[in-house]
Structure formats: structure tokens, C-alpha cells
């Protein structure tokens, strides 16, 4: 009985240690995460207030229409799975492709921020400013997860500027993988459940 209790305590301590390490690493990368957040919202503002060129607007509208067509007959579980897998892929690629001097995390932040700004602008034009409130539940968990993943990817790319490049890369890759598994992944799961359920109910 005592051994089982000790085992439970040890497991809890181990989990707490893992999350403590994760948040410490996130904190150490906060400057890069703030850069990603800044770029994302800067280009969201650009997308919202600056009219997009006709070619770009056409591509974005076609992409949105494609997503709507693809998901229109999905059940709530299929929607949740679809959203989760898309966000998982984007977050993972944004992190791992950061090895290229952080170019791709920056590109992902700019592109997604710009698209969000355009979509928000179109939504306001059609349904009014209050319609933006409907967007908030979609981003409460998803955006922090994506920002963390991209920020870690940007940090990973700085290995080229370090003296001990290989050592820095290995350590940061290991820490990033841990954060992705124990922080980003759970946030994406929660985000997908909320977003998928809301889309299904509204539809």
C-alpha cells in the first residue's frame, strides 16, 4: 500500500518536474516568442486595413472556399480531427523548419497573421464589428500553441550563430520536443475540440 502511494507521489513529482522544465525553457525563449507574436499581429493589422491585391485576395478566397467545401459534411469528431491535424502539422513544421535560420517560423507568422487580418476584414464588412467576438474562442488555445511552437523554431535557428553549434542545437531540439509534446500538443487538442464543436453547432 505504501509503495503504491510512493509511486503515485513520484509520478506526480515527475510530471510537475517536466512541466516546470517546459515553462523554464519557454521563458528562456520569450524574446523569440514575442517577436513571432509581434509579426503575427502587425501583419494582421496590415491584412485588415490595407486592401489586398486582387490576385492574393482571389487565392485566399479560393483557399477558404476549398476548406468550407472539404468540411461541410463532416461530423463534429471529423471536424475536431481535421482542425487538430492541420494545426499540428503547421505547428510542427513551424518549429522543425526553424533550423533554417528561423526563416520559416517568421514566414508562417507573417502569412497566417496577414490571412487572419483579411478574413477578419471580410467578416466585419459582411456581418459588422461585433462578429469579431465569434473569432475569439477559436484562438484562445490555438494561438498560444502556435506562437510557442514558432518561437521555439525561431530560437532553434539561432544555433548557426553559436560557438558550440552542435551542442546548442541538440539541447534546444530536445527541449523544444519536450515543450511540443507536453505544452503545445495539449493546447492544440483543446483548441480543436472547442473550434470543431463551435463550427458544428453554428453550422
Q: Residue 184 domain-assigned?
A: yes
Q: Residue 5 domain-assigned?
A: no
Look at the chain and report how many structural domains it folds into. 1
Count CA atoms closer than 13 A to 198's CA, side-chain side: 14
pTM equals 0.90
Q: Residue 178 domain-assigned?
A: yes
Give the sign of the dihedral formed by CA 199, CA 71, CA 124, CA 106. positive
pLDDT value, residue 202:
77
Residues lower than pLDDT 70 in the chain: 1-12, 203
Grid cell listed for 7: 509511486
Q: Give the C-alpha separation, 106 to 126, whole Å.
A: 31
User: Taking Cα atoms as reference points, which of 146, 151, 139 lies closest to residue 106?
Assistant: 151
Q: Residue 16 domain-assigned?
A: no
Q: Which domain holds residue 101?
A: 22-202
Grid cell listed for 102: 528561423
Exposed e or buried b per residue across 37-52, where buried means at least 16 C-beta atoms within 10 angstroms of its C-beta: bebbeebbeebbeeeb
Q: Give the C-alpha separation, 29 to 107, whole Å.
A: 18
Q: Residue 4 domain-assigned?
A: no
pLDDT value, residue 31:
97
Exposed e or buried b per residue across 160-182, where buried means at least 16 C-beta atoms within 10 angstroms of its C-beta: eeeeeeeebbeebbebbeebbee
Q: Residue 12 domain-assigned?
A: no
- Residue bearing cell 503545445: 184
pLDDT value, residue 10:
63
Amino acid at each position: 500500500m505504501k509503495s503504491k502511494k510512493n509511486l503515485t507521489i513520484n509520478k506526480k513529482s515527475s510530471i510537475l518536474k517536466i512541466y516546470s522544465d517546459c515553462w523554464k525553457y519557454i521563458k528562456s525563449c520569450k524574446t523569440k516568442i514575442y517577436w513571432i507574436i509581434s509579426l503575427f499581429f502587425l501583419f494582421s493589422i496590415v491584412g485588415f486595413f490595407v486592401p489586398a491585391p486582387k490576385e492574393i485576395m482571389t487565392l485566399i478566397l479560393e483557399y477558404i472556399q476549398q476548406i468550407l467545401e472539404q468540411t461541410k459534411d463532416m461530423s463534429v469528431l471529423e471536424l475536431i480531427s481535421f482542425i487538430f491535424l492541420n494545426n499540428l502539422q503547421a505547428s510542427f513544421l513551424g518549429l522543425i523548419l526553424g533550423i533554417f535560420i528561423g526563416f520559416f517560423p517568421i514566414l508562417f507568422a507573417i502569412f497566417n497573421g496577414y490571412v487572419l487580418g483579411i478574413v477578419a476584414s471580410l467578416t466585419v464588412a459582411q456581418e459588422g464589428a461585433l462578429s469579431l467576438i465569434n473569432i475569439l474562442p477559436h484562438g484562445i488555445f490555438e494561438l498560444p500553441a502556435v506562437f510557442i511552437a514558432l518561437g521555439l523554431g525561431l530560437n532553434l535557428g539561432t544555433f548557426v550563430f553559436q560557438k558550440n553549434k552542435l551542442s546548442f542545437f541538440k539541447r534546444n531540439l530536445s527541449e523544444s520536443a519536450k515543450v511540443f509534446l507536453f505544452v503545445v500538443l495539449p493546447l492544440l487538442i483543446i483548441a480543436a475540440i472547442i473550434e470543431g464543436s463551435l463550427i458544428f453547432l453554428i453550422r
